[in-house]
Amino acid sequence: MNEAISFPGDTPISIPTGQALLQGLLSLPARLSALVVLTHAGENPEARDDALAVVLQHAGIGTLTLDLLTHAEERFADIHHNVSLLARRLLDTLTLIKQRMLLGELPTLPIGLCAAGDCSPVALRVAALRDHDIFAIVCRGGLIDLAGMLYLRSLSAPLLVLVGEDDERVTASNRRALHQLSCHHELKLLPPVSPDPAAALGAVARETALWFVQHRPTLA
């Protein structure tokens, strides 16, 4: 992550982690009060992440949209579920972000994590490990118990879990996992898939942005 950062503006970035080189897009609005890392693992979430990033940026929150897999790794199903590997990569990313902040190359900002599907337990585990650095988390779908019981019980950042109301298995599993948490948390059910995908994406984006805005620390 040695690229010159455009502020305000968009900066394509690459992040070395282990043997992999991850790709992401850093987007910073002119009015900036926090940074949220939007993680995915190999799938194509462009419409979802684009809609979410726009809403967050209108709320004064910068975004780093990050793929935790390389293109070569996407065809291997097992790696999508490798929480330990993906968590190490996200931890490396946070370390680099903090370094850029300390060097003055990025504004010093509170950091949030947002993930969906297979990346939900990854974000939760990382937040538990970096509890002083993460101000809030949003997970959409996925099984958060895969983060591990130790991490569930030690999480301190406020957590919002969004689940489709027609996904009874995931809802039940996540409700059980939330009983292990001592931090502030909520589970919200999303309506079934809308015939208007843009409206559905907008609803998720608004819920997500509201959570981060509500829990965003006041900058000195």
Tell me the per-residue pLDDT of 144-155, one tens digit each, with 9 for 90 and over: 999 999 999 999
Residues 131, 146: Cα–Cα separation, whole Å: 18
The pLDDT, as a whole number, for residue 111 is 98
Query: Which domain does 70 fall in, by range?
Result: 9-215
Specify the number of domains making up the chain.
1
- Answer yes or no: is pLDDT of 195 > 70: no
How large is the average pLDDT for residues 114-142? 95
Is 2 inside any structural domain?
Answer: no
- Answer yes or no: is pLDDT of 220 > 60: no
Count of C-beta atoms within a 10 Å radius of residue 188: 14
The pLDDT, as a whole number, for residue 204 is 86
Is 1 inside any structural domain?
Answer: no
Is 220 inside any structural domain?
Answer: no
Residue 182, domain CATH? 3.40.50.1820
8-64 residue pLDDT tens: 899 999 999 988 999 999 999 999 999 999 998 876 555 567 788 889 999 999 999
How large is the average pLDDT for residues 163-169? 89
The percent of the chain in helix, strand and coil, each rounded to the nearest 5, is: 40, 25, 30
Of 96-105, 143-152, 186-195, 210-219, which gets the smallest average pLDDT?
Answer: 186-195
Asked if residues 173 and 143 have their Cβ atoms less than 8 Å apart, the reply is yes
Asked if residues 168 and 142 have their Cβ atoms less than 8 Å apart, the reply is no
The pLDDT, as a whole number, for residue 133 is 92
The pLDDT, as a whole number, for residue 201 is 77
51-109 residue pLDDT tens: 888 899 999 999 999 999 998 888 877 888 899 999 999 999 999 999 999 999 999 99
Residues 137, 51: Cα–Cα separation, whole Å: 18
Helix axes 83-102, 120-129, angle to 10 degrees: 50
Residues 198, 202: Cα–Cα separation, whole Å: 6
The pLDDT, as a whole number, for residue 202 is 78
Closest to 56 measured CA to CA, from 206, 216, 158, 215: 206
Asked if residues 136 and 215 have their Cβ atoms less than 8 Å apart, the reply is yes
Confidence of residue 135 (pLDDT cuts 50, 70, 90): very high
Give the pairing of strands 20-28 and 61-67.
Answer: antiparallel
The pLDDT, as a whole number, for residue 44 is 58
| pTM (predicted TM-score) | 0.93
Long-range CB pairs of 72-81, under 8 A, 24+ apart, other chains included: 73/20, 73/42, 74/42, 79/41, 79/42, 80/41, 80/42, 80/118, 81/118, 81/146
